[in-house]
Structure 1
Amino acid sequence: MTGIPDAWTLCASAFNWTPEVTAAHRPALDIVTGIVADGVADTIELEPGLLWRSFPAPQGGEVDEFRDAMDKAKGNVSIVGASLDDFLSATQRRSTQQRLDFLVPQLQAARRVGAAGVRLPIGQAGAELLGLVQPLLHELDLVLYEEIQGQQVPESPAMAPALNTIAGLADDHVRVLVDISMLMPSLPASYLEELRRGGVPGELVTRLADEWRNPATLDAVKALLQSGNVPPRVHTLFMNLVIRFGRSDVSDLRSILPLVGGFHLKFWDLDDTDGRVSQPLRDLGGLLGSTGFAGTLTSEWGGHEWLQDDPTDITRRHLDLAASALAAGALGDGAAD
């Protein structure tokens, strides 16, 4: 199988190792740099909240220690997940200048570790802050990625202001990052089993398994939420259905592709029955291969919320599957029009 195009960079997100970092059996620094040292990927996306105790105002010593360890491992950082806390207290919002001051140390730390960019949720920064931060992005040679994911849909009215702002800036230092949790032809079997064990009515679980993309299915999900009858033990997990799991098609991305600089290859488990994991990747490979995309494609595992798999093993296997499926799509094997 021919590999993916040279302009595409496969990465691994440190987010995948959240359970290991939380367990704290090893220092977070060793876990994160181990992604490179163990040969999983030579480029990683960094979640600094998992790594630096001083985040969101990273201190130089912590940042430099990580940079030196990555240099030793011969690894690179693609994107740093930034944070933008809009409130000083429960009732007091930060001013635009205070929001900028909150973000700047994170941008400086990202540059210090050699990252190519930072990431925020789409629309959170807003036009005014983006305008203020642009000169610093150019000075530091960083890209600010605004992420769209899950139930968000590019063509929806809710997305228009943020996407129009990015398009209007016409600046390669402000781009969109797409999480393919938007492109789920069906739900993970392991997730559905967790809902079933947690007490979600079997009729709804069956409907979720068989008719995920039917809009009426989401109506049934919301009806159960509104009734207050979602079992407490799976309430947080259940919310994935209305936030983190999407029902879009790869063709829905075509209109925003000129703005896109990266993708999160979100996966939950590796049960590829009916191509539920590989088909969206093949479709994406076909779309990107036909449009000259250049950027990062990052393995991001969301299933550790309910699974106990080894992060290193499952990420390694996912990257292998992703490389094969993306390449097949780029070559026209099973790609979407």
Structure 2
Amino acid sequence: MERSLQVHRETPWTLSASAFNWTPDVIRAEHPATDIAAGIVSSGVASVIELELGQLWRSFPDPSKAEAVALRERLTDVGGRVSIVGVSIDDWLSPTRRRDEEQRFAFLRPQLEAARELGAEGIRLPIGQAGPMLLRRIQPLLHELRLTLYEELQGQQAPDAPQVPRAIEDIAALDDPSIRLLVDTSMLMPALPPSYLEQLAAGGLPPDLLARLTNDWLEPATLDAVVALLRAGGVPPQAHTLYMNLLVRFGRSSVDVLRDILPLIGAFHLKFWDLDDTDDRVSQPLRDVGSLLRGSEFTGTLCSEWGGHEWLDDDAAGMTRRHLALARASLASGFNPSRHPSAQAPA
């Protein structure tokens, strides 16, 4: 067992941590991004980590083999490994000229090769970005490099959301275990993070809408009100960027929407924004995932990913440690309620 990061000994799942949680540290550039990534392991936060390729090296999107091998060996030396690597496709050669399918493949290929040299088992793209033609084009390379491509669903991208069903159908039609879905639990938010609501209040959001967001996030009429204020130009400029999370990054679905696609899910992001677990707003989605996976054949990773560093100035290592502890207990509680009757956030 790798530093006790299995949920518990009766499950085949592995908990991991995303280097994305350390984005503010990467931006400050007081230390190289590779040092920050290695420090996640050497400090004991997690022995299995996800990396964002675009954050690691200035040579992105075509890092050298030597760079990737050096980081892999460095992680191995401190007892760590890479699970999934976030990659990207720049679809535009210029402001007016799109890349064709061969050019998109050429942009992505060196990222796959770098992921393999890092020792990763998979790469990650947003749901539907590759498209069916590139998926078919990339299949042989995935097999050659022994990689899994994960297409990520998050926030408002429920399985029945616009354009999502087609992307899922494209993956299902390939019937290839090297192409799977990754589900971000931001899709399953029973309530909004208190720290986020505080930021909206400080930004001057109308009190009536703020009350609805606080008390009635799951009500369809609340999202209608969010859209109406945006269309009316009523969002205060200082709150506009944060406000868009309501339409994109924060979901309102039940875990039941995942049951029909569970055989296609190969990994999860356990998204958290803050650790205020009032009314189980953080732990309940985790228990729901544990319950969903009970009796399934899922053997993938469940990765702690902190999105709240956008507005919180907290220590990434401390936040991630606490979230991993909460996730381990909550997932186990959902998986085996009689054995794990409760899951409380650590102090």
TM-score, normalized by length of structure 2?
0.94
User: For the residues of structure 1 that align with 2:98 and 2:284, how far apart are their CA atoms?
Assistant: 43
Alignment of structure 1 residues 260-275 onto 2, 5 Å: 260-275=265-280
Q: Which residue of 1 aligns with 2:317?
A: 312
User: For the residues of structure 2 that align with 1:74 and 1:139, how far apart are their CA atoms?
Assistant: 26
Q: Which residue of 2 aligns with 1:279?
A: 284
**3-state SS in 1 of match to 2:296:** coil
In structure 1, what residue type is equivalent to 2:92? Answer: F
Q: Greater shift after overlay, 161-170 or 326-335?
A: 326-335
Q: Which residue of 1 aligns with 2:155?
A: 150
User: For the residues of structure 1 that align with 2:40 and 2:261, how far apart are their CA atoms?
Assistant: 32
User: For the residues of structure 2 that align with 1:290 and 1:326, how far apart are their CA atoms?
Assistant: 14
Write out per-residue CA displacement over residues 298-330 of structure 1, whole angstroms, 9 at most, x where no aligned residue: 000000000001000000000000000000100
1:54 to 55, 59, 70: 59
Write out per-residue CA displacement over residues 181-207 of structure 1, whole angstroms, 9 at most, x where no aligned residue: 000000000000100011111111111
How far is the alpha carbon of 1:224 from its aligned partner?
1.1
User: For the residues of structure 2 that align with 1:318 and 1:56, how far apart are their CA atoms?
Assistant: 31
1:86 to 74, 77, 91: 91
Write out per-residue CA displacement over residues 18-53 of structure 1, whole angstroms, 9 at most, x where no aligned residue: 011111122211111100000000000001111111
1:189 to 194, 215, 221: 194
Q: Which residue of 1 aligns with 2:79?
A: 74
In structure 1, what residue type is equivalent to 2:43? Answer: D
Q: Does 1:206 align with 2:202?
A: no
User: For the residues of structure 1 that align with 2:175 and 2:337, how far apart are their CA atoms?
Assistant: 31
User: For the residues of structure 2 that align with 1:300 and 1:112, how far apart are their CA atoms?
Assistant: 23
2:143 to 138, 145, 163: 138
How far is the alpha carbon of 1:157 from its aligned partner?
4.9
**3-state SS in 1 of match to 2:156:** coil
Alignment of structure 1 residues 313-332 onto 2, 5 Å: 313-332=318-337
**3-state SS in 1 of match to 2:271:** strand
In structure 2, what residue type is equivalent to 1:261? Answer: G
Contact 2:24 2:309 in 1 (8 A): yes
TM-score, normalized by length of structure 1?
0.97
The runs of 4+ residues in structure 1 deviating greater than 4 Å are none
Contact 2:84 2:124 in 1 (8 A): yes
1:216 to 209, 221, 234: 221
How far is the alpha carbon of 1:59 from its aligned partner?
2.0
User: For the residues of structure 2 that align with 1:248 and 1:310, how far apart are their CA atoms?
Assistant: 30
Alignment gaps of 5+ in structure 1: none
How far is the alpha carbon of 1:272 from its aligned partner?
0.2
Write out per-residue CA displacement over residues 249-299 of structure 1, whole angstroms, 9 at most, x where no aligned residue: 011110110100000000000000000000110111011023232101000
In structure 2, what residue type is equivalent to 1:296? Answer: T
**Residues 1:4 and 1:182: Cα distance change in structure 2 (over 3 Å):** farther
Identity %: 60
How far is the alpha carbon of 1:88 from its aligned partner?
0.6
Contact 1:267 1:300 in 2 (8 A): yes
User: For the residues of structure 1 that align with 2:9 and 2:95, how far apart are their CA atoms?
Assistant: 47
**3-state SS in 2 of match to 1:88:** strand
Q: Which residue of 2 aligns with 1:31?
A: 36
2:14 to 6, 9, 13: 9
Alignment gaps of 5+ in structure 2: 1-6, 343-347
Alignment of structure 1 residues 253-264 onto 2, 5 Å: 253-264=258-269
How far is the alpha carbon of 1:331 from its aligned partner?
0.2
